[in-house]
Structure 1
Amino acid sequence: MARYTGPVCRLCRREGMKLFLKGDKCYTEQCAITRRNYAPGQHGQSRKKVTEYGMQLREKQKVRRFYGISESQMVKYFLMADKAKGITGENLLRLLELRLDNVVYRMGFASSRAEARQLVTHGHFLVNGSKVDIPSVILSAGDTIQVKEKSRSSEKIKSLIENHNGNTVKWISVDLDQFKGSIVTEPTREDIDIPVEEHLIVELYSK
């Protein structure tokens, strides 16, 4: 599967907001949005008329870049959300929040979603006691995620645990002493802090 490998700060600038793709750097003055809050490229500072389609496209791209997923994955999640009961846009965001890599990030066991994907792919986590190395696995309420015993001595993992600020989303509980966390309940729209108008994404894919 093709994945964007270029400078991720350009993505934040293109969307005009912080996507928190660089971990700790996003909270410093070195953040690209703080230094150059306009789109990249020679026409980045020019004023452009945004069409209805353009607005829908930007919202979709924003969500894709937040979660680091491909277009084919985005379509798959939309179809799943559309078939589920409830509001399609909220279902879509809920599915993305319940991805294993995002849950690891939300637990504070990675400084960014990209780092969480890498840690999961390298097999550092157990889900309900079993090794899982697929970042796109969708979790459910009651699932437990734990750092493998052998991985707890990793300098990277130890650093993340030691510098954990204790702040996690309310739908996840974390036990730092046991290197684990669990999903208390599936997130609602109010629990998802991404500034996106998901109804525009639904309109885009429903055409």
Structure 2
Amino acid sequence: MARYTGPKSRIDRRFGEAILGSEKVLSKRNFAPGQHGNNRRRKMSEYGVMLAEKQKAKYTYGVLERQFRNLFEKAAKADGITGEVLLQLLESRLDNVVYRLGIAPTRRAARQLVGHKHITVDGSVVNIPSFSVKAGMVIGVREKSKSLEVIEDSLSGRSHSQFPWIEWNQQTKSGKFLHRPERADIPENIKEQLIVELYSK
């Protein structure tokens, strides 16, 4: 499936946030990319603001349009506030859970680890990044992959206690997905209500 493989700094500059890269590029070039990026004064329309918020969420979680639309429709049918349920569904994706557990340094790296069969769910290898993790499932590193340098480096440099909806076991290099996160616990700067309004038009 196609993924965005272009410059990460370009996306960060478009939204004015470190979505895919580091904040270093924004401190040097805190304006939109392109030849006229520094001179853009055009006020964005209401539709443009909503569309930008949806695009930001898609780039943040690495989801393409059709997948994102399907997740929204699923969230709309579920009980609860549609925008919050949408973010919960995005957070429950296997690649995102692997990233949150600290097994991979970025969501892109997490997707690659999943696709290359380095990740297990309840003891069985799962290579589908969009796999929906349910409460009580245990996500771990396959025995053969525990010595991979990228995994060891990531695990040594990340805190595993910062997210209340997951529980990490350092000895087994696995984490338990306790429950779907509350909106207040999700650190992403996404105004999900704007996405709901966009799809409701």
Q: If the length of structure 2 is used for normalisation, what is the TM-score?
A: 0.95
C-alpha distance in 2 between matches for 1:53 and 1:126: 41
Q: Secondary structure at the match of 1:178?
A: coil
Return the alpha-carbon distance in structure 2 between the equivalents of residues 114 and 171 of structure 1.
21
Of residues 63, 67, 70, the one that matches 2:61 is 67
Q: What's the C-alpha RMSD, in Å, of the aligned pairs?
A: 1.2
Rounded to whole Å, the distance in 1 between the matches of 2:159 and 2:3 is: 30
Query: Structure 2 matches for 1:84-103, cutoff 5 A?
Result: 84-103=78-97
Aligned length: 200
| Alpha-carbon contact 1:106-1:168 (below 8 Å) kept | no
Aligned to 1:44: 37
Among candidates 140, 146, 165, match of residue 171 of structure 1: 165
1: CA distance, partners of 2:92 / 2:70: 15
Name the structure 2 match of 1:17.
17
* Aligned counterpart in structure 2 of residue 104 of structure 1, from 98, 109, 113: 98
Contact residue 117 and residue 127 of structure 2 kept, 8 A: yes
TM-score if structure 1 supplies the norm length? 0.93
Name the SS of the counterpart of 2:146 in structure 1: helix
Structure 2 residue aligned with 1:141: 135
1:166 Cα deviation from its structure 2 partner: 3.8
Percent identity between matched residues is: 50
Whether the 8 Å contact between 2:161 and 2:168 is mirrored in structure 1 is no
Q: Tell me, which stretches of 5 or more residues in structure 1 are unaligned?
A: none
Deviations 1:23-57 (A, max 9, x none): xxx26xxx211221111001212211111000100
Structure 1 residue 135: Cα displacement: 0.4
Distance in 2, matches of 1:2 and 1:149, equals: 30
| Structure 2: gaps (5+ residues) | none
